[in-house]
Each structure stands twice: as C-alpha cells, then as structure tokens.
A and B are shown apart, each in its own frame.
Chain A
Amino acid sequence: MDALMPVLVFLTSLLTGIFIFLLGEEQRAIRTFLNIAGATVKMVLVGIIIWGVFHEHSYESRFTVIAGIDLVLRVDALSVLFVTLSSILWFLTTIYAIGYLEGSPNRSRFFGFFSLCVASTMGIAMAGNLFTFFLFYEVLTLTTYPLVVHRGTEKALKAGKTYLIYTLTGGAVLLFGVVWLYILAGPTEFSQAGSLEHIGAEHYHLLKIIFVLLIAGLGVKAALVPLHGWLPEAMVAPAPVSALFHAVAVVKAGAFGIVRIIYNVYGIEFASMLGLTTSLAAVAAITIIYGSLKALQQDDIKKRLAYSTVSQIAYIVLGIAIVGKIATIGGIVHIVHQGIMKITLFLCAGNLAETLGLRSINQINGVGRRMPFTMAAFTVAALGMIGIPPMAGFITKWYLGIGAVQAGQTWVVAVLASSSLLNAAYFLPIVYSAWFKESSISWLENNRSGRFETGLLLLLPPLVTALLTILAGLFAASSFSPLDWAKLIAFREYRE
C-alpha cells in the first residue's frame, strides 16, 4: 500500500483530467461531480500521507524507464508541504472556476487541462530524483500552455508564445544541466539531505557551471529577475488560472525545484562551500526589490499582483540562500504562506473584474461598500503580504530576519525592511481607496443581482483562503501548522 500511495495521489488528478476530456461540453453535472470528487479523494489521501510521513513512514513508487534511470515518486516532508498546499488550493480553485466559467465555451477542455496541470504539479512535488522532476517540470509547461491561451484571442496567443519561448528555453537549459549532472553523479535521488562532495575536487568547477545551468533553467518558472518577463504577460489567462499559476503551479514549481537542488542534490553546506549560495542570495535580493519597484508602477490590478509575485517568490529562494536553520524555516514556510495569500488576492481581483468589470486601480474607489466580503479578504491578504502580524506573512519575515542576523548577513534585514515598505506602498493605496474613498461611479447599488455581492462560488474560496492566512499566522506555534512542518523539514535537512 505504501508503494501505491504516491501513484494514487497522482492518478486522482490525472484520471479526473482524462475523464473530463472524454465528456461532452454539456455534461456539466458529471463534470462538476468528477472535479469535486477527484479533489476530495485526493485531500483524503493526502491526509493519510501527512499522518504517515509524520510517523516516518516512507512512501515510494519506482518504475524503470531505461536501465539506470527510474521514474520515482516518493513522499518526504517537503513533498507533503507542497502536495497539501496544492490539493487544498486546487479544491478551492476548482470551485471558483466552476462559478467563474459559467456559460463560457470550451469548459471541457479547460477543466481537463486544469486537472492535468495539477497532476503534473503533484508529480513535481513527489518527484524522487532529478530525472522525474525534470519530466514533470516539462509536462507542466505543456499542460499550462492551453490554459494561458484558453480564450483564443490574439492577445492570449501572444502571451502563450512568450510563455513557451521562456519556459521551453529554460527547460532546454535545465535538461543540459540535468544530463551533465547525471553523467557526473549518477541518478541524483532526493532521498535525504544531498551532497555532491564525494565527486572530487577536480570536478568542482564543473559542478558550479552545472549549478548555474540548473538554477537558470528553474529560475525561468520561478520568475527570478531577469527571467521573469513571461509572468506579467501571462495575466491574460482566466482568473482561476492566474491564481493557480501564482500560488501553486508554475511559479511555485520553479521555486520548489531550486529548494530541491540546493537541499537534496548539492546539499546546503556543500553548496555554500562552493560559494554558490551567496550569489543566489544576491539574485534573490535584486529580484525582491526590482519586483516591488515594478509593482508600484502598475495600474492594472492583476499586473501589480504579478510583479508582487516576482518579488514574493524570491523570499523563498532568499530563505534558502541565507544558509542557516532559522532562515530555512522562513523560506520553506513561505511556500505555503505565499500560496494562500496570493491566491486570495488573485481570486478577489477576479471577482472585481467579473462582477463589476474593474481592472485598474484608479477605478477602485469605494468598492469596499459594494463588495465588502471580497475586499475584506483582499485586505487580509494584502496586510499579510506586507508582513503585519498576526497574518501568515509576518511569520515568514520574522524567521527570515532572525535567520539572516543569526547567519551574520545583516544586509538581508535591510532588503526585507525596504521590501516591506515597498509592499506597503503598493498595497495600502488599494486598500485605502477601496474602503475610504468616495466612489465616482454609479455601480454602487443598481446592478446588484442575487443575495450576495457576487456569485457564492466566487465568494467562498477567497474567504476561506483569507481565513487560512489569519489562522496560519495565529496558530503558527501549534502542531501541524505550516510553520511546524517547515521546522520538521529544516531539522531533517540540518540533521538534528
């Protein structure tokens, strides 16, 4: 059973996707049932796995592709973090998408690829070696492309083109690095805290080159500056897709890959011995500041959120690159925290656009009175992003700051502080205008239909994730909180 578990988790999404493709466009009830059933079954399975991994069970499925190269799905503590995040957010986003795409064409195709995209995210989360990771990393590109171009407009096709150019080139660079490393080090399993120290000092310069190739390949999806260009353009995708992209799927996959490379392939101590982590920290810091500055200049809500993602994902990378247990906790826990906060923001932005046609920040005045729940959720998440207690984002910044000081890298604190200021500068005006400014537009009461401010399916998911944002911060100290789990991972990585 233990060997079957990862495959089952993977199959729940894959089969859902395949069955949905087979359905006709009009079989809405069955499709909705399949979507919800798939997501629910997966959450149950993930629940079992969480319990198992906590008690040091090992879940591993292995399958030989070519002699010496295995497809491995394995669940460790880090996988659990990502798998749990994905399965919960997938469930919520699916509900949202059902409400959002009501009546629009090609829903069958949309939900099919939506499930396949989650299946590949599961594959990435549970990949047990570099080969498997690469496989699903590329499949993710392919399954997300149809979602980006879903609307079929010229603008969408153009964004899709940019997306493919960036990601496929990144994939090619990554492949080069993966193959090279495979030749030097054999199949690089993610099974425990990795290290390439045994390879021998004469190859160290090669290992550095390979590291750059790997990080450059992964950095495209993680949107590290200057490889982030596709992300703001991909915003033409439907709102649930953007939400998923920024919270769990694409961007997160890149960041997750970087975590794997440093912790499970190179080994954190060995990577820092090669001097790789310092330069990575610098790149992350630049990305944080640059992303925030660009976010400030955007007038389109979704674009501002997109640049904010560029900056926030780099926190994860920064946390790892600082080297030190506390900073590691901060970086890893941000995988979850950024996910729940950013998805809230995107779902809220989707509600504004869908219900009132609001897309730009200068139209937002007074919208808090028309859509109080949506804006409440938005506010919670925005405050979390800035890092105000007791939201989840505060926990991240606290651990990153302490960790940096402890590791003797005080310059990081300056980066964190200025980034928080910038975050405040681009989020607070939105919040302020929405609640306190007088509206100049007459949509206030008249086009309101139904009992709620917008469709119930659109309203509930962001409220839930906003609640999670608060809970993850408030109960950070209790067991099974994201922070608690991140500590577990960090302890296992630093072998204490």
Chain B
Amino acid sequence: MPLADQWMVWSIIIPLIGAAIFFLLKERHHTIIVIISLLTLLSTAGLAFNVWKTGSQFHYAGGWQPPLGIVLYADGMSILMMLMTALVGLSISLYALRYFSDKRSLKFFLPLWFFLWASLNALFLSGDIFNIYVTLELLSLSAVALVTVSSQQDTSQRRDAVFAGMRYLLISMIGSLCYLLGVALLYAGYGVLDLKLLSEVIAPSPSVFAAITFITIGLLIKTALFPLHFWLPPAHANAPAPVSAVLSGLVVKASFYLLVRLWFGVFSFALSSESGLFFGLLGASGILWGSFFALRQKTIKMLIAYSTVAQIGYMFLLFPLAADMPSLWGAMAMNAGIYHLISHAFAKSSLFLCSGNIILAFGHNRIDGIGGIAKHYPLTFSALGLSGLGIIGLPISGGFIAKWQFLTASIGSGQWWWAVIIITGSLMAAVYIYIIWSRIFAPLENDIVLNPVPKSMEILALFLSLISIFMGLTAEPVLQMLHIGRHF
C-alpha cells in the first residue's frame, strides 16, 4: 500500500511546511495554523489506523534499503507517542494564538513550534541511531529557542528566560555530544547505524559498553533524570506557558522514549537486575527530591516544574521492574511506565496551560495570591482539579491506572520497596497539588482587578485535563496498541 507508507512521511513533512510558511508570512493567519495542526493530527491518525490494522511497518525513504537509505519505522509505541504529541500539539497551537498577545512573539513562536513538532515525529519514527541523533539535535535546538521566546515586556523576566535558555542550551549540547560519541563508537565497531541491523551484529565488548554508557548518559541528561535534572525547573518555569507545556509534556518524553527503545531493543543484553536497579534508584531519588522541592516553591510554575522532575522519576521505575521482560509483572511494568508517560503528558501540559491562564488573569503566579479562581474562572478551576488528580494518581485518571500497574508489578515481583516509594511519592504529590487546590478555593483578595481570560484558553486547558481523566476509564486500547510490533 503506497499511501499507507506515505502517512509516515506526511506526519513529518506537514509540520515542516507549516514551519516554513510561518517563517515567511508577516501576518498571523489563524486559519492556516488551525489547518496545519489538524492536517498533522490527521496524518498521525491515518498512520495510527494503519498500524492498528496491519501491524508495525517500515518505510524506506526514496526506496533505498539500509545501510544506504534512511529507514522510518512505526510500531505501537511510536504511534502512541505521536498521537500524544498530536493531541497536545493541537491544543498548544490553538492556545498560543490567544496567549501571545503581541505579534512579534507569535511570529517567533510559530515556526519554532512547528519545527519542534516535525522533529518529534521524525524522532519517534527514526530507525537508525544516527538519524536519531539528528532529530534529537533539531528537537533540542528548537526547544532552547522556544524557551527564550518571551511575551513579557519586563526586562528582568526576559533576562531570566535568556539565562535559563543558555543553560539549557549548554546542557543539551553536552547531552548530544555524549550521545554522538556513543554512536561513533558503535559505528567504528560495526559499520552499521540501522537499529535492526545493529541488533543482529552487536555483542558485548568493552567498547560497546562504553558506547552504551555514553548514549545513556546523553539521553539521561536530556530526560532530566535526577541528579541531572538541575537545568529543568528554571528552563521550564521561565518559558512562556505553552512552551513549558511542550517541554514538560513532550520534549523530555522523547529522550526517555529513546532510552526504552534502545534498552529494550538493541541494548537488551545489557539490561540486568543491576542496571535496572541503577535506573530505579535514580528514579526513586528523583521522585523524592522533585516532590520535596515542589513543596517549597512559591510560584505555580516552579512547583509544576519540580513536579515534572518527580514524575520523570516514576517512568524510570519501569527499568528495574521490567528488567526480566518475558514475565507477567515485567510486561505490566512496561505498560505502567508508558501509560504514566502518556497520561502525565496530558495532565502536565494542562497544568501549565492553567498557569498561563492564571498569569494572564492575575498578572503573576504566586501561589498565595490566586484566591478567587474557583469563583471567577470555573473552567480553569476544573482543569486544575482534574489534572491534579492525574498527577497525584488518584482515581479516576490515567495516572491511577499507571500507579495501579506499577504497584501490582512491584508487589507481585517481590520488589515491594518500589511500591513504598510510589505510595510515598503520590502522597507528596497530593500535598503539593493540595497547596494549589487549597488556594483556589480561598476568596479573592480585596484590591485585585482581574483581567479577562479568553474562553478558548480555558477550554483548551480543560480539554487536556479531560483526556487525562478519560485515560482512567479504560486502558485497553492504549495497551493493545503498545504491544503492536513489540515482543513482550
């Protein structure tokens, strides 16, 4: 089916075309933004439908087979990532239209954002380790540039954003270099870059382990796993709200996706209970560290950013729990990790959009000064409530399904200590989400004049939080999709 192949290409090309159009256009054109976003969503959905019906598939760009040509590969896991990106992406595009009130910021934002979307899709479809490097690099560069897009006229805030962006850039560069070094070592050893070919020839050796180490460290830096998380909170908190949503919801997930893809694929021979424990311990520390610092923040965006550090930690628990993959508990842990990743993407981006609404309404996002939301912005209030459920992992939300499976996997496989960490982490999450909840019920402070918030911005935040709730109703379609093309 030639058209079926084309969906993969379209899902990368369409946002790229969008980026080019918005780069050239002087005025903002709402209809074009909506059309490009919808078309990207449509091509992703088309691809998803195909994979759902016929299973995983390859696409050889220009008809060239590897090792010469570029290969694209779509299986259930990449489809889920792309669908997640498309749903969050659509909301972000529409949200940004209203959020960036001045033309100049929007003109910077739009091409960068669609470029980022294209690189995300390309990354999820890449089938060889060098293309992965390229997409990773494009992703990081557009993300860094987005952090510094500022809608604020205030110079000190703009300076903060530039500082955070610079730091993000440096860290990201180091991560990319580490990754590239690992790729070079592998290429020197085997002369292939294609993941499938590589997995056929790769064998344990000192240089391979060095390569794995470099690649893993590079990706861990980009995923912001504790103790390499220090760059994340300032970068995510100082960016404009829709950008923060993209960074926390999608960008950190991309490098995590690569870790899972590699460690449970090409590098699976290196996955043992020791290496699993290594990831698990870092993940657990991230949960506790991130939650603890989230409790101490004074602004909503910093709180949410530290919460991301904690939530990233949860995803890494899948390594120790799924290290012995063929088992029932291992498969369940894999489900839990990916499910958590997706549901967190929706809940967290919704929270960041809420913080954008709050900043617009109050002119700041200090937690102690946001009383009155429940009364004056009922939609934002609902979104805060529902996405908070997802973050804590309370029913009914996707976060709960993930937590349930994590707990089952850890108690079932006899590694109950992870269960203790998970429960502790979600209680701490309950406390930091409560810090926000308790303030939104408080009455409005006397002398505050509220700015109007466009209804569409409130509705989009609510839309994303509703997806995270619906993920709590049934997990079966998502989990079935996840297993397409995988052997666990």
Residues of A within 8 A of B (CB): 21, 63-67, 69, 105-106, 109, 134-136, 138-139, 142, 145-146, 149, 152, 157, 160-161, 164, 168-169, 171-172, 175-176, 179-180, 182-183
Least CB distance from B269 to A in Å reads 29
In angstroms, Cα B472 to Cα A66, docked, is 10
Cβ of A194 to closest chain B Cβ, rounded Å: 21
CB nearest neighbor in B for A134: B395
Contacts of B438 in A (CB 8 A): 149, 157, 160-161
Docked-complex contact A179 and B427, CB < 8 angstroms: no
Q: Are B434 and A164 in contact (CB under 8 A)?
A: yes
Extra inter-chain contacts (10) besides given A149-B441, A182-B408, CB under 8 Å: A66-B404, A109-B378, A138-B395, A139-B395, A139-B396, A152-B371, A152-B443, A160-B438, A179-B419, A183-B408
- Flag if A175 contacts B476 (CB, 8 Å): no
B 214-263 contacts with A by CB, 8 A: none
B3-25 vs A, CB cutoff 8 Å, 1 = contact: the mask equals 00000000000000000000000
Contact of B405 among A66, A161, A168, A169 (CB under 8 A): A66
With A134-B395, A157-B441, A183-B412 as given contacts, are A175 and B423 in contact (CB-CB < 8 Å)?
yes
Q: Which 4 pairs across A and B sit closest by C-beta, in order of nearness?
A: A135-B395, A179-B407, A183-B412, A66-B475
List residues of chain A with CB within 8 A of the CB of B389: 142
- Closest residue of A by beta carbon distance from B424: A172
Annotate B417-434 by CB proximity to A: 1 below 8 A, 0 otherwise.
001000100110010001
B434:A65 contact, CB within 8 angstroms: no
- The interface residues of chain A lying within 8 Å CB-to-CB of B382 are 21
Interface status of B367 (Cβ within 8 A of chain A) = no
A171 to B405 alpha-carbon distance, docked (Å): 17
Residues of B within 8 A of A145 (CB): 437
Q: Which residue of B lies closest to A64 (CB)?
A: B476
- Is B441's CB under 8 angstroms from A66's CB? no
Whole-angstrom distance between the Cβ of A422 and the nearest chain B Cβ: 36
* Minimum distance in angstroms from B224 CB to a CB of chain A: 26
22 A-B contacts, Cβ less than 8 Å apart? Answer: A21-B382, A65-B401, A65-B475, A65-B476, A66-B404, A105-B375, A106-B374, A109-B374, A109-B378, A135-B400, A139-B395, A142-B389, A152-B441, A160-B438, A160-B441, A161-B438, A168-B430, A169-B427, A172-B427, A179-B408, A179-B411, A179-B419
Q: Of A109, A135, A176, which contacts B419 at CB under 8 A?
A: A176
- A106–B440 alpha-carbon span in the complex (Å): 13
Q: Which residue of A lies closest to B375 (CB)?
A: A106
Known contacts A172-B426, A183-B412; A142/B441 CB under 8 A? no
Instruction: Specify which of A66, A135, A164, A172 lies most central, judged by the most chain B CB atoms within 10 Å of its CB.
Output: A66
Any A CB within 8 A of the CB of B473: yes
Interface centre among A64, A134, A142, A182 (most CB of B within 10 A): A142
Task: Scan B388-416; emit 1 where CB is below 8 A from any A CB, else 0.
Answer: 01000011100011001101100110000
Taking a contact as CB atoms under 8 Å apart, the answer to whether A66 and B407 are in contact is no
Asked whether B360 is an interface residue with its Cβ less than 8 Å from the other chain, the reply is: no
Asked if B479 is at the interface (CB within 8 A of a chain A CB), the reply is: yes
- Is B442 within 8 A of A152, CB to CB? yes
Which residues of B lie under 8 Å from residue A179 when comparing CB positions?
404, 407-408, 411, 419
> With a CB–CB cut-off of 8 A, which chain B residues contact A164?
430, 434
With contacts A168-B427, A172-B427 known, is A157 near B442, CB below 8 A? yes
A65 contacts across to B, CB distance below 8 A: 401, 473-476
Closest CB in chain A relative to B375 CB, distance in Å: 6
B411 lies within 8 A of A142 (CB): no
From DSSP, what is the main secondary structure of chain B's interface residues?
Answer: helix
A63–B474 contact, CB under 8 A? yes
* Nearest-CB residue, chain A, relative to B392: A168
Contact B427 A180 (CB under 8 A): no
**Chain A residue contacts of B479, Cβ below 8 A:** 66-67
Closest A residue by C-beta to B388: A142
Chain B interface residue count: which class? 20 to 34
**Residue in A21, A134, A176 whose CB lies within 8 Å of B423:** A176
Residue of A67, A135, A142 touching B476 (CB-CB under 8 A): A67
Please name the residue on chain A nearest to B414 by beta carbon.
A183
Tell me the interface secondary structure of chain A in the complex.
Answer: helix
A360 to B265, alpha carbons, bound, how many Å?
70
Which residues of chain B are near A136, meaning CB under 8 Å? Answer: 395
Closest to B475 in A: A66
In angstroms, Cα B409 to Cα A182, docked, is 11
Complex Cα–Cα for A66 and B480 (A): 10
By the criterion CB–CB under 8 Å, are B441 and A135 in contact? no
Q: State the Cβ distance, B335 to closest chain A Cβ, in Å.
A: 8
Residues in B with CB closer than 8 Å to A21 are: 378, 382
Nearest A residue to B335 via CB reads: A66
Per-residue contact bits, chain B 194-228, to A (CB 8 Å; 1 contact, 0 not)? 00000000000000000000000000000000000
Residues of A near B407 (CB, < 8 A) are 175-176, 179
What chain A residues lie within 8 Å of B375 (beta carbons)? 105-106
Q: Which residues of A contact B475 (CB under 8 A)?
A: 65-66
Point out the residues of chain A lying under 8 angstroms from B401, CB to CB.
Answer: 65-66
Residue of A nearest to B474 (CB): A65
Q: Give the distance in Å from the alpha carbon of A136 to the alpha carbon of B472 in the complex.
A: 13
Annotate B320-353 by CB proximity to A: 1 below 8 A, 0 otherwise. Answer: 0000000000000001000000000000000000
Q: Does B411 contact A183, Cβ atoms closer than 8 Å?
A: yes
Tell me the bound Cα distance from A372 to B400 in angstroms: 51
Residues of B with C-beta under 8 A to A138: 394-395
> Per-position contact with A for B456-488: 1 when CB-CB < 8 Å, else 0?
000000000000000001111001000000000
Q: B67-84, CB under 8 A of A: which get 1 and which 0?
A: 000000000000000000
How far does the Cβ of A174 sit from chain B's closest Cβ, in whole Å? Answer: 11
Chain B min CB distance to A131 (Å): 8
The chain B residue sitting closest to A145, CB to CB, is B437
Complex formed: what's the CA distance from A149 to B381 in Å? 15
- Please determine whether B434 and A180 come into contact, CB atoms closer than 8 angstroms: no
Bound CA–CA A64/B473 (angstroms): 9
Nearest B residue to A148, CB-CB: B441
A175 CA / B408 CA spacing, docked (Å): 10
Q: Which residues of A contact B443 (CB under 8 A)?
A: 152
Considering the complex, give the chain B residue whose CB is closest to the CB of A25.
B375
Smallest CB separation, B311 vs chain A (Å): 17
Chain A proximity of B232: nearest CB distance (Å)? 27
Q: Which B-chain residue is minimally distant from A173 (CB atoms)?
A: B423
Specify which chain B residues have a CB less than 8 angstroms from the CB of A168 in the assembled complex.
427, 430
By a CB distance below 8 angstroms, the chain A residues around B412 are: 183
CB distance from B100 to the nearest CB of A (A): 30
Q: Is the CB of A64 within 8 A of B441?
A: no
Among residues of A, the one whose C-beta sits closest to the C-beta of B332 is A66
Chain B residues within 8 Å of A139, by CB? 395-396
Residues of A near B419 (CB, < 8 A) are 176, 179
B408 touches A161 (CB 8 A): no
A149 to B443, CA, bound (A): 11
State A171–B401 Cα separation when bound (angstroms).
Answer: 15
Whose C-beta in chain A lies nearest to the C-beta of B410? A179
In whole angstroms, how far apart are the Cα atoms of A152 and B370 in the complex? 13
Q: How far is the CB of A420 from chain B (nearest CB, A)?
A: 40
In the assembled complex, the Cα of A142 lies from the Cα of B474 at a distance in Å of 20
Minimum distance in angstroms from B16 CB to a CB of chain A:
37
Docked CA distance A168–B431 (Å): 10
B404: A residues at CB distance < 8 A: 66, 69, 179
A399–B462 CA distance with the chains assembled, in angstroms: 52
Cα of A139 to Cα of B430 in the assembled complex, Å: 14
Complex contacts, B442 vs chain A, CB 8 Å? 152, 157
Asked whether, in the complex, the Cβ of A66 is within 8 Å of the Cβ of B476, the reply is yes
| CA gap between A383 and B375 in the complex, in Å | 43
Measured between C-beta atoms, what is the minimum distance from A24 to chain B in Å? 10
Q: How far is the CB of B257 from chain A (nearest CB, A)?
A: 22
Distance A138 CA – B441 CA, assembled complex (angstroms)? 20
Question: Which chain A residue has the least Cβ–Cβ distance from B473?
Answer: A65
Task: Kindly list chain A residues whose C-beta atoms are within 8 Å of the C-beta of B396.
Answer: 135, 139
A69-B401 Cα distance, complex, nearest whole Å: 10
In the complex, the chain B residue whose C-beta lies closest to that of A136 is: B395
Q: Which B residues are in CB contact (< 8 Å) with A175?
A: 407, 423
CB distance from B458 to the nearest CB of A (A): 14
